[in-house]
Amino acid sequence: MSTDIFHVTEHTAPACHIRECPGSTVRSQEEALALHVKQYTPLEQADPIPVSTITIIAAHAYGFPKELYKPLWDVVHYQLKQNGFYFRSIWVADMSSMGQSGMPRPLMGISKSFGGNILTNLALMCPRLPTTVVLLDPVIQPTVTQGLGTDPPRAVNYALRRPDIWPNRKTAASAHAKLWRRWDCRCVELMIKFGFGDLPTALYPEMPKGTDPSNPAMTLTTSKYREFLGFSKLTLQSTALRMGSFRLPNLRPPALWNLGAKSFLGVGGSGGSSQGKVKEVILPEGSHIFPIEDVDQTAS
């Protein structure tokens, strides 16, 4: 597991303000926000570290905790080591961009789903910041697809209507067993650990009757209402969000576009493949969440 391979350092840093997005903050759009970041530094490094050694910036999918990708980093480390490559560290934050402090170039970005949109727009804003981007079934589209629509069982209604209180952690895990049946077992364990939190919370300040204090009731770490808000924001239709799709021909860093053949997302166009700057990889059995279903093949 990751602790045997990486030294994990946690950082808290000030984040960008969220403005002109009603409901994103409790009181004012001027509220100061904090960013939680984990830095995974390999215990085994080349000595001395070559100047060309990459740093990886990662972005996770919407509603999935960043810790869920630990098995992927384990296998990425192994695959690179087998091919004689090393990296300085992996930096992954909770759904927000982060500064460059402590990150020598070259920088490689790896991101999934909604995180792919974030990373692509970062590369469009700062075209010489990332050296390479690896996009895992990214949500980059000119229009909103049925997968993000409002008709059941689409993401918006799923987020709003899903249960979010369980008598204990074991029951919460059992309730999601069917949904997670194709996941890598390591990712399931991490989701059970980081995807749920003990009651009480600000949303549910009282414990359900009959709760065993030694085996407390559970709720979602990210509340379903926060998840619903993210999926249903009016800004989902805004020009700014779709701009990543329109500007893909202007993406400067080389890009590796990984897709699941069974994902509900799709892309069109060839990008910069004629110049050797874009490569597409299809995982035949991969759904939209293939990075946590088939960790080894994704890393390979």
In this prediction, residues 72-76 reach a mean pLDDT of: 92
Identify the top-confidence range among 100-104, 189-193, 228-232. 189-193
Structural domain ending residue among the three candidates 93, 118, 141: 93
Q: What's the residue count for the chain?
A: 300
pLDDT at 75 over 60: yes
Residue 241: the pLDDT is 59
Provide the domain limits for residue 84.
6-19+29-93
Residue 136: pLDDT above 60?
yes
pLDDT at 13: 81
Domain end marker among 68, 93, 118? 93
* Residue numbers annotated as active site: 113, 137, 288
| 98 has a pLDDT exceeding 60 | no
pLDDT score for 237: 53
- Helix, coil or strand: residue 274: helix
Specify the pLDDT at position 106.
84
* Nearby residues of 219 by Cβ (< 8 Å), 6 or more positions away: 164, 165, 166, 196, 197, 199, 201, 203, 204
pLDDT at 40 over 90: yes
- Please give the mean pLDDT across all residues of the chain: 80
- What residues pair up with 11 in beta bridges, in sequence order? 37
Co-location of 155 and 249 in the same domain: yes
Residue 288 within any structural domain of the chain: yes
pLDDT over 80 at 219, yes or no: yes
**Residue in 256, 229, 277, 268 with CA at minimum distance from that of residue 110:** 256
Q: Which of 112, 160, 172 is nearest to 140 (CA)?
A: 112
Closest CA to 104 of 54, 160, 59: 54
Is 128 exposed, middle or buried (CB count within 10 Å of its CB: 0-12, 13-18, 19+)? Answer: exposed
- Give dist(CA 37, CA 95) in Å, integer: 10
Bridge-based pairing of strands 34-42 and 87-93 is: antiparallel
- The residue-averaged pLDDT of 33-60 equals 86
> Quick one: 78 and 196 in the same domain?
no
pLDDT of residue 234: 44
Q: Which of 37-46, 166-175, 270-279, 286-295 has the lowest mean pLDDT?
A: 270-279
**Above 70 in pLDDT, residue 56?**
yes
pLDDT of residue 114: 80
Residue 96 has a pLDDT of 44
- Total domains, the chain: 3
On the question of pLDDT at 269 being above 80, the answer is no
Q: What pLDDT is recorded for position 238?
A: 55
Q: What is the largest CA-CA distance in the chain?
A: 64
- Closest to 105 (Cα-Cα) out of 45, 58, 52, 47: 52
Residue 90 bridge partners (DSSP): 40, 56
Model pTM score: 0.64
* Kind of pairing between the strands at 255-260 and 165-166: unpaired
Distance CA 47, CA 284 (A): 39
Residues 141 and 202 in one domain: no
| 216 and 132 belong to one structural domain | no
Report percent pLDDT > 90 for the chain. Answer: 24
Asked whether the beta carbons of 221 and 195 are under 8 A apart, the reply is yes
Alpha helix locations (H) across 126-256?
155-161, 169-175, 185-194, 224-232, 239-246
pLDDT value for 50? 85
CATH number for the domain including 295? 3.40.50.1820
CA distance 77 to 136: 17
- Bridge partners of 197, per DSSP, are 219
Domain boundary among 42, 63, 93: 93
> What pLDDT does 168 receive?
93
CA distance 174 to 179: 10
* Residues 130/97, Cβ–Cβ less than 8 Å: no
Query: In the predicted model, is pLDDT for residue 1 greater than 60?
Result: no
**Both 240 and 148 in a single domain?**
yes
Q: How far apart are CA 289 and CA 112, in angstroms?
A: 8
Residue 99 lies in a domain: no
Using pLDDT thresholds of 50, 70 and 90, give the confidence band for residue 242: low
Q: Report pLDDT for 198.
A: 93
